[in-house]
A and B are shown apart, each in its own frame.
Chain A
């Protein structure tokens, strides 16, 4: 049955709904274990090939995973055949390495504490098997290189090791003019040695033996002091040499090689801060057009800008906005319209946005409104007041698209996430729980929230059991929210973060 689901490119009709299965979990909580704040995952990102996955957490750490099912494929094939696992291959990852990307800091000029929390991680172009990534907290972006290094064992020194180290420092730290460096037959000018023409046979080079390798992460560059407000996004350009960073009011353009200057390309800061009505919430470069980027705002609009037009792109090339339904305006309208995340589809034609209530898919050639809307939180509409009281209404849910652009996904409360088919005619809509048994929730959740959704999309539901229904429909737990998730670039595989645990699913 899994094999059938793989055929998503069948020309006739919308693709079949996927059957999602649990694949892996990293950092699973044991019963009763309390989650440490610093361990909560705050960013997830697959690299372009899908062979690597990175997560960042509130403690400023970046954790890297690597795919195992493709790499060891040849070696394992025989085993697989023997154990009859043959075709059921799906992306599997293993822990690769981790490093401390950011530390808590204190800005003495502004008397501000800067959290170490990783806001975003983006992979850069791989070169020579060394991995490169950008990570950012609220203020500082860092460029990391993760590389295997040989563990060196040095033997055959000219001098005994302890002696060599002790005296070596003395000899080397003094420069060549030092008398200790003059050989007996050396030039008395002291500037250099002179040697017999055949060289000195007694000298030998150190012999280095190394079998083991060790992964080392090194911070290659730090892009700092360019943002007055909190950085919410970073995004690489397809040209391979630049990237943008966006905070609440400005977007800056950087060259990866140059860390001491950046260009401000968007500035929405009004002359008088009291006139401020709209902030930037997310920004992303177009996947193939190096001159185009999109940014979203707290008012629910997306602006597409063309870097070719002008150096300062305060005026957008295109504005994507959904006209407000008349008469529906309330105190919460603007808050729930705020876009928390935007993503381009791989082909660059479509953009996905997430606001508090829904996912919206936009065609960049159509700015009059989204081509599809997928309700995620419509059932919460009556509870907006409570959500406002406990600040949940400001939660920033991320969204993602599948590599083939046929499906979209986003997170919700109670560690749930939802997947929708966005191909024309598709009614696919799946709710999964980030746990080892992703379908469990369908059994237990009250039917009420689902029913409100079923008017728009078909809900995959298994079994008719409705036991355990809270009479008030309050079974949604606002403290367990699934904010971060990512779709594998080439396969139907999703990685999502439930607090400190990373769950992976495949279909």
Chain B
């Protein structure tokens, strides 16, 4: 047991705790591995610390995960890039552990280190590592190897490149589906580093293997590969090789594969270019929109706007719009809901006439949908349609929909619509709002559910911001202040909360003349909860109002509250007083 100087004590503890019984302490030490490394110096880090870590790799997964992450940024501590290869052995073992997240982190760190390594070192140590992992006895090593090829490949000499491509091709046909999945996931990255002639031959044949895999889960991932590969190929090659695969996938037996196509179709269209999109992918997309499986339709419906944007309006009207019409009355509410969340975006694509003629009826029917999410999704995107056709055409149907949502028995629905009120107000304009929606906003302040009252108070503030203090003075403030006499103390509390939110928007004058008296009055309330909330609100008003008002009105009230019989009231009152003192001092 060595004697350690006092100043070294903490770092000595940190090192000892690398092997503590307590996992938290080990984790703590591993997270500060860089500190330990600097204390040991570069040479001893290389010769002692790194081998030490390599040997002690049967720790708990949490510790291994932290180790994998730390080692990724360790190059400076081992003496720079020329020594980077000493970091490979511990990460290589971490690439083989059972826990997926540890392996992924180790692969990430290896990529990070590999990207900085010198070409010579890559050939001498990184590439052999990749080959060892790819030939690993357990599938875990082989899974990890797939994620390293794109780092190893570019610096390999020609012969080695051929070998690496052959190895990757083997991995694409591994017995274990986990390995094939990893190969499918990483194919795009690897392909990006492969030279064009090999891309067309070797990579495409690997891709073909994967697209014909028995396992749905592998084919699924190959779909993503389509887009990545498509972008690397020449347009004509892409149309020749990738397009048929996509079209095939869009008719795959497995709904999960078709779902994936529906989700990725936009990227796939970008990959194959506009012409094949029109000729081949539009029919494929139409099929997906009419798929038997609701999940597929949900995914397809969610992309309708994005897809239409890459088409010309005629094609969209001719092919997509009829499907949209069908989807708007789909039997699955989730399909309608997905459609409703994007359909407003179609308006700018189709132009004013088509929108009024074709889309408007769909908007209107979705606004009357029995499922609240559908209506909410339409309302949330109102601004997009407003830009094209103006709100007037919609406003008549809008109001009943809003009122119904505002009174929905599920408070989450009410909450959602409240959050859209400021948006609606800005779209519909002051006039419409005053007539129809003003009353609703007041009604929410008296809701049974706290979250609704809280949101309503916020809403009042946002309306005041939107329409300005003058309007608020006329249309909101009097109504809000009226409610301070509500017999229920929780509602009086909501009003106090609204006041504290409104005050900064309304400015000093109105606060002093209108809001403050109400608050001062409330300090006489019989409920202590109201009283200490008064203290809190008063504290929040101090920075807004004039110093003289603080002296004359706020402080006397707080002083009175600070002598209240209730301990909480006294506490918040004295806190408010303290802060008013501070304001005065500054």
A binding-site residues for B, Cβ under 8 Å = 125-128, 130, 132, 145, 147, 149-150, 152, 154, 157-161, 164-165, 167-169, 171-172, 176, 180-181, 183-186, 192-200, 202-206, 208, 220, 238-242, 257, 288-291, 307-311
Contact B217 A239 (CB under 8 A): yes
Cα distance, A128 to B139, chains bound together (Å): 9
Q: Mark B12-36, 1 if CB is under 8 A from A, else 0.
A: 1111111110100100110010010
Smallest CB-CB A-B distances: 5 pairs: A199-B41, A158-B12, A308-B254, A184-B7, A181-B10
Q: Whole-angstrom distance from the CB of A242 to the nearest CB of chain B?
A: 8
Q: A195, B41: Cβ atoms under 8 Å?
A: yes
Taking a contact as CB atoms under 8 Å apart, the answer to whether A127 and B12 are in contact is no
Question: CB distance B55 to A208 under 8 Å?
Answer: yes
User: What's the Cα separation between A197 and B44 when bound, in Å?
Assistant: 11
Residues in B neighbouring A171, C-beta threshold 8 A: 9-10, 13-14
* Complex alpha-carbon distance, A310 and B295, angstroms: 8
Quick one: given A152-B19, A240-B178, are A159 and B4 in contact (CB under 8 Å)? yes
The stretch among B95-103, B339-347, B479-487 that forms the contact with chain A is B95-103
Residue contact A159 to B55, C-beta cutoff 8 Å? no
Pick from B16, B39, B177, B216: contact of A195, CB below 8 A. B39
A168 in contact with B7 (CB, 8 Å): no
Which residue of chain A has its CB nearest to the CB of B40? A199
**Contact yes or no, A125 B139, CB < 8 A:** yes
- Contact, CB under 8 Å: A202 / B42: no
CB of B16 within 8 A of CB of A241, answer no
Pairwise interchain contact B18-A205, C-beta atoms closer than 8 A: yes
> Who on chain B is nearest to A312 by CB?
B294
Q: Please give me the residue from chain A that is nearest to B97 by CB atom.
A: A128
Q: Which residues of B contact A152 (CB under 8 A)?
A: 19
Q: How many angstroms from the CA of A171 to the CA of B22 in the assembled complex?
A: 14
Determine which of B13, B29, B40, B217 lies in contact with A241 in the assembled complex, contact meaning CB atoms within 8 Å. B217
Determine if A169 and B25 form an interchain contact, defined as CB atoms under 8 angstroms apart. yes
Say yes or no: A203 contacts B39, CB within 8 Å: yes
Other than A127-B139, A192-B35, A196-B41, give 13 A-B pairs with Cβ distance below 8 A. Answer: A130-B98, A158-B4, A159-B13, A161-B1, A167-B9, A168-B17, A200-B40, A203-B4, A238-B215, A241-B181, A257-B100, A307-B256, A308-B254
Is A203 a contact of B215 with CB atoms below 8 Å? no
Which of B2, B41, B256 is in CB contact (< 8 Å) with A204? B2
Q: Which residues of chain A have C-beta atoms less than 8 A from B97's C-beta? A: 128
Residue from B19, B25, B254 in contact with A206 in the complex, judged by beta carbons closer than 8 Å: B19
Task: Choose one: A125, A132, A311; the contact of B293 (CB below 8 Å).
Answer: A311
Residue B135 at the chain A interface, CB threshold 8 Å: no
- Of B13, B56, B292, the residue contacting A168 (CB under 8 A) is B13
A205 to B89 alpha-carbon distance, docked (Å):
19
Counting chain B CB atoms within 10 Å of each CB, the highest count among A147, A152, A154, A205 belongs to A205
Q: Are B256 and A208 in contact (CB under 8 A)?
A: no
B55→A183 contact, CB < 8 A? no
Q: Which residue of B lies closest to A168 (CB)?
A: B13
Residue A310 contacts which of B25, B28, B45, B292 (CB distance < 8 angstroms)?
Answer: B292
The answer to whether B98 touches A193 (Cβ under 8 A) is no
Shortest beta-carbon distance, A22 to chain B, in Å? Answer: 36
> Contact at A239–B215, with CB atoms within 8 Å?
yes
| Chain A residues in 8 Å Cβ range of B9 | 159, 167, 171
Instruction: Give Cα distance in the complex from A204 to B47, angstroms.
Output: 12
Residues of B within 8 A of A167 (CB): 9, 13
In the complex the two chains form, is B41's CB within 8 Å of A200's CB? yes
Would A238 and B58 count as touching, CB distance under 8 A? no
Contacts of B7 in A (CB 8 A): 183-186
A164 touches B16 (CB 8 A): yes
With a CB–CB cut-off of 8 A, which chain A residues contact B35?
192-193
Instruction: Check: B52 CB closer than 8 A to any chain A CB.
Output: yes
